[in-house]
Structure 1
Amino acid sequence: MKLIQLTDIHLTTPGNTIGGRDPNENFRKALDHALTQHLDADALIITGDLSDWGDRTDYVRLKETLSCVSVPVQLCIGNHDERDVFLSVFPERVDEHGFVQSVFDLPLGTGIVLDTWGPGSHAGYYCETRRDWLDGQLKAASGPVFLFMHHNPVPIGIAPMDKIMLQDHEAFAALVKKHRDKVRHIFHGHCHLPLSGSLCGVPFSAPRGTNHAGWPDFANQGNLSASDLPESYAVVLVDEISVMVHMIEYGYQGAVRREGSPDYADWNRLTMVR
């Protein structure tokens, strides 16, 4: 099974940039790269911050763009989004409680999109109503489950980012622990950093994002930190016993060198590129 994860696309009014980069153009490049290289993907999931300011026109353009994508697409919302505005364009994405949550079939299990949005805050929230919903979905799932969310459910050790992580993370962790025999992997975004780790024994990961990049500035106590690292998305390869996550830095503009053969017998000082 192959999945594509894009995150933090931050669509803006055409012509506006973020960190000197055009998020609309970078999203287009990410889609083109992913669908050219990985048209065999079983699903494409965008884990939030679809719009930079929650403007309806951004969601309209997003829907138009995705209408041409042959791979099944799933959407999360993030702190930069506006749930009611998003749902005015994507009404089919709402669950029975008014949240942007859904369950979808995958070749090797079940995917679940989570809504960690909260009004008037960059932090994430996963209230009792949402937890009860997820608990029910996890109970009903017969096979491995892959969770997709925007906010990081674990502190990353960088103070400004940890202030805006998932605020109900302990309750969320308890729910994950309860179902850790089913939850195979958690995918998130929000931090604009390549991250991996585990929560109650369940692995999680995040790519950098398709536009502006963060920087792990552990000494900074008050500001979010940015960098000019390449834009990226993730390709996820899954089989019955393993999950492999690649961060694809499609924004890299340098050379790609073929340095030699993986066969040990072919390694020598004349043919290996150094």
Structure 2
Amino acid sequence: MTLKFVIMSDLHLVPEGALSVTLDTAARLEQAVDAVLARHADADFCILAGDLADRGEAAAYERLKTIIARLPIPAHITLGNHDDRPTFLSVFGDDFAAETGHVDKVIDTKGYRIIMLDSSEPGRVDGVLEQAQIDWLTARLAEAMDRPVIVVLHHNANALHIHSDRIRMLEPDAFIAALKTHPDIRQVIAGHVHLTSTATWHGLPFTTLAGGHYSVDFSVDRPDAPMRRISGPGQMAVVVGTPDRTTVLFDDFIDGNADIFWSRD
């Protein structure tokens, strides 16, 4: 029995007629949905991992609701620093909030537990998990000691040695301590940084995906070096899980490259 799910992040939707950093983000999300329909319609579900709207506007969330209605699979949602929680809940419904008051969620399927965490905090760009969320996470991990766990949130906790480290989860100790209570954390997957990365930190595997908005370049350990914003690619992650392994693949649904027709003859 194989688990398969899609993660989209950093959609940055704006009201109709507007652009975000020169990009038509709604058109880019439509292309992401087209990619799911073409290649990943057999997935169990899709996670939208925050920065759904560029400025947290109700019209952007209404637009999001319309576009993701085309998905052939369930969509599970959490928030990022560009989102506005009360506005999101006013559009999508208060039942998206967990008992923590945040848009946190647990999904149990095919021998896995997937835990989604809302790392957004009003007025802050860096990631925050409140004590109530840490306690909730610890309890949800304790319930799942018999299965592997994947955690999905917007903000990366681990430093990447790049400019965006100043806006990661700056106080990650309690989060790491909670994760370390479980013996089989397969992946901690985030968006936020607009680039693809993998890391091991405190013995835990961390991954970021570039997401659907612009991508960035970087200079390692030069936090004040200028950073370029790049119009592509648009990227989603595809997670495949079996009892003995968990794999994260990256689908650049916008790549700007022509097909190469190659024959072995």
Return the TM-score normalized by structure 2. Answer: 0.92
| Structure 1 residue 156 displacement after superposition | 0.8
Structure of greater Rg: 1
- Work out whether residues 59 and 89 of structure 1, in 8 Å CA contact, stay in contact via their aligned partners in 2: yes
Matched, 1:140 2:114: no
Matched, 1:58 2:36: no
Give the 4+ runs in structure 1 shifted more than 4 A.
258-261
Query: Structure 1 stretch 169-178 or stretch 185-194: which is displaced more?
Result: 169-178
Match of 1:230 in 2: 233
Matched, 1:99 2:108: no
Match of 2:81 in 1: 79
Deviations 1:122-151, CA, capped at 9 Å, x for gaps: 111012111001000110124111111000
- Work out whether residues 33 and 70 of structure 2, in 8 Å CA contact, stay in contact via their aligned partners in 1: no
Match of 2:174 in 1: 171
Aligned residue identity for 1:257: I
> For 1:8, what is the secondary structure of its paired residue?
coil
Give, in whole Å, the separation in 1 of the partners of 2:105 and 2:113: 11
> For 2:76, what is the secondary structure of its paired residue?
strand
Query: Structure 1 stretch 92-101 or stretch 239-248: which is displaced more?
Result: 239-248
> For 1:161, what is the secondary structure of its paired residue?
helix
- Work out whether residues 218 and 227 of structure 2, in 8 Å CA contact, stay in contact via their aligned partners in 1: no
Given the alignment, which residue of 153, 159, 171 partners 2:157?
A: 153
| Structure 1 residue 168 displacement after superposition | 2.1
Deviations 1:58-83, CA, capped at 9 Å, x for gaps: 11222233334231211110000011
Return the TM-score normalized by structure 1. Answer: 0.89
- Work out whether residues 217 and 225 of structure 1, in 8 Å CA contact, stay in contact via their aligned partners in 2: no
Query: Structure 1 stretch 22-31 or stretch 168-177: which is displaced more?
Result: 168-177
- Alpha-carbon distance change, 249 to 134 in structure 1, aligned in 2, over 3 angstroms: same
Give, in whole Å, the separation in 1 of the partners of 2:95 and 2:226: 37
Give, in whole Å, the separation in 1 of the partners of 2:223 and 2:166: 13
Give, in whole Å, the separation in 2 of the partners of 1:216 and 1:172: 26
Given the alignment, which residue of 13, 21, 31 partners 2:33?
A: 31
Give, in whole Å, the separation in 2 of the partners of 1:18 and 1:169: 30
- Work out whether residues 173 and 199 of structure 1, in 8 Å CA contact, stay in contact via their aligned partners in 2: no
Match of 1:194 in 2: 196
Deviations 1:213-252, CA, capped at 9 Å, x for gaps: 1112333417654123311111122212222222111111
| Structure 1 residue 192 displacement after superposition | 0.2
What is the alpha-carbon root mean square deviation over aligned residues?
A: 1.8
> For 1:178, what is the secondary structure of its paired residue?
coil
Aligned residue identity for 2:159: P
Query: Structure 1 stretch 13-22 or stretch 190-199: which is displaced more?
Result: 13-22
How many correspondences in the alignment? Answer: 260
Match of 1:119 in 2: 122
Match of 1:246 in 2: 249
- What is the percent sequence identity of the aligned residues? 30
Match of 1:256 in 2: 259
Q: Which has more strand, going by share of residues?
A: 2
- Alpha-carbon distance change, 130 to 231 in structure 1, aligned in 2, over 3 angstroms: same
- Work out whether residues 103 and 113 of structure 1, in 8 Å CA contact, stay in contact via their aligned partners in 2: yes
- Work out whether residues 13 and 20 of structure 2, in 8 Å CA contact, stay in contact via their aligned partners in 1: no
Gaps of 5+ in 2: none
- Work out whether residues 145 and 184 of structure 1, in 8 Å CA contact, stay in contact via their aligned partners in 2: yes
Give, in whole Å, the separation in 2 of the partners of 1:97 and 1:178: 20
| Structure 1 residue 256 displacement after superposition | 2.9
Deviations 1:251-271, CA, capped at 9 Å, x for gaps: 11322335566xxxxxxxxx4
Gaps of 5+ in 1: 262-270
